[in-house]
Amino acid sequence: MSLGSKKNSGKPGDDGVVLLLGGRSEIGLEIATRLAPGRTIVLAARRSTELAAERQALLDAGASVVDCVEFDADDLDSHEKLLRSVVDTHGPLSVAVLAFGILGDQARAERDARHAVAVVHTDYVAQVGLLTHLATLLREQRSGRIVVFSSVAGVRVRRANYVYGSAKAGLDGFASGLGDALHGSGVSLLLVRSGFVIGRMTEGMSPAPMSSTPAQVADAVVRGLHRGASRVWVPGRLRPVFFVMRLLPQAVWRRMPR
C-alpha cells in the first residue's frame, strides 16, 4: 500500500515513488536506502549523469527503479516543470525529501553580502519555492508526505552561525505553517530538527555535543514517517535542551559557541 492508496495514512507505505531532491545528500541517500525495497526512487541533483554510484547503491538496496534527473535548487523557474515531469514519468509521489542546502562560510558572509544572500537563497528561498509547488502537486493527488530539514540552528539563532541559522529559522516557520495548511488534505509534512550532523557538510569542524550521523538521522526520519509524526528532533534529547536554551538571557546566549 502506498500513500496514494489511502488518504491520511500517515505512513510511507511499501511502494510508491520516493523523490530525493538533493540526490547526493548523505542523509537523503540514507533515507532513500531505507525506503528503497520495491520502490521507484528518483534522485534529483546537479550533474545527474554522475550519480551512477548512488543509483547502484539504491538498486542494491532493493529499489525496483532508480532514475536520475537534473535539478538546480537555485533555478526557481525550473522547479514546477521538474516535479510535473517526475509525476508524468513515474506516477504519483509517495514521499518527497528536500535534502539540499549549503552551510556557507559565516566569516565570509559577514563581509560579503553576495555570499550571505546565496546561503539564504539556497537554504530558504529555494526551499519555499519548491515546497509551494510540491504542496500544490500533492494536494491534487490528495496524498503524499514531504520531509523538510530544519535545524536546531534555527530554533534560536546564534551569533556564531547567524546567516545559516536565520535561513533555517525562516524555513522552520514556513514549513510549520505549511504543515498546518495541509491538514485534512491527505498530504502531510514531517519537519526534522537535527543537531550537528557528522558528515561531508561539516567536514573539518569539531563535532558539537549530542551530534548525530546521517544514518542516525535517517533512522529517526523513517520512524517518524511510519508513525505519522509532524516533528522529529535528532537526537530526541535536544528538544528539552532547546526548550531551556530559549529561556537564556540574550547576554548569555550571545557568547554561546557553535
Task: Report pLDDT digits (tens) over 60-85.
Answer: 999 999 999 999 999 999 999 999 99
C-alpha cell at 31: 533515507
Q: What is the pLDDT of residues 184-210, one digit of tens each?
A: 999 999 999 987 787 677 666 666 676
Nearest Cα neighbor of 240 from 164, 152, 179, 157 is 152
**What SS3 state is found at 240?**
helix
**Max CA pair span of the chain:** 55
Q: Is the pLDDT of residue 1 over 50?
A: no
Average pLDDT over residues 217-229: 95
94 touches 17 (CB < 8 A): yes
Which ranges in 121-226 belong to alpha helices (H)? 126-141, 162-182, 214-226
238 touches 197 (CB < 8 A): no
Alpha-carbon gap, residue 26 to 100, rounded angstroms: 10
Owner of C-alpha cell 524555513:
171
> Any idea which residues carry the catalytic annotation?
164
Q: Which residues lie across from 192 on neighbouring strands?
A: 149, 232
Q: 75-113 burial by CB neighbour count: b if 16+ within 10 A, else e? A: eeebbbebbeebbeebebbbbbbbbbbeebebeebeeee
What pLDDT does residue 7 have? 38
Q: Is the pLDDT of residue 3 over 80?
A: no
Q: Is the pLDDT of residue 117 over 70?
A: yes
What pLDDT does residue 242 have? 65
What pLDDT does residue 5 have? 34
For the chain, the domains span: 17-254
What pLDDT does residue 6 have? 37
Range 17-254 classified under CATH 3.40.50.720: yes
What pLDDT does residue 53 have? 97
Amino acid identity at 175: A
Alpha-carbon gap, residue 4 to 13, rounded angstroms: 9
What pLDDT does residue 247 have? 57
Question: CA triplet 96, 24, 78: central angle to 5 degrees?
Answer: 55
- Parallel, antiparallel, or unpaired: how do β-strands 144-149 and 93-98 relate? parallel
- Would you give the end-to-end CA distance of the chain in angstroms? 43
Q: Is the pLDDT of residue 144 over 70?
A: yes
At residue 10 the predicted structure's pLDDT band, cuts being 50, 70 and 90, is very low
> What is the pLDDT of the chain when averaged over all its residues?
88
Alpha-carbon gap, residue 176 to 163, rounded angstroms: 20
Q: What is the pLDDT of residues 21-67, one digit of tens each?
A: 999 999 999 999 999 999 999 999 999 999 999 999 999 999 999 99
C-alpha cell at 220: 529517526
What pLDDT does residue 4 have? 36
Q: Which residues lie across from 43 on neighbouring strands?
A: 20, 68
Residue 206 is given by DSSP the state P
What pLDDT does residue 16 have? 85
Alpha-carbon gap, residue 138 to 76, rounded angstroms: 19
Residue 220 is given by DSSP the state H
C-alpha cell at 139: 494536494
Higher pLDDT, 3 or 168: 168
240 touches 212 (CB < 8 A): no
As a whole number of Å, the CA-based R_g of the chain is 18
Q: Which residues lie across from 44 on neighbouring strands?
A: 21, 69
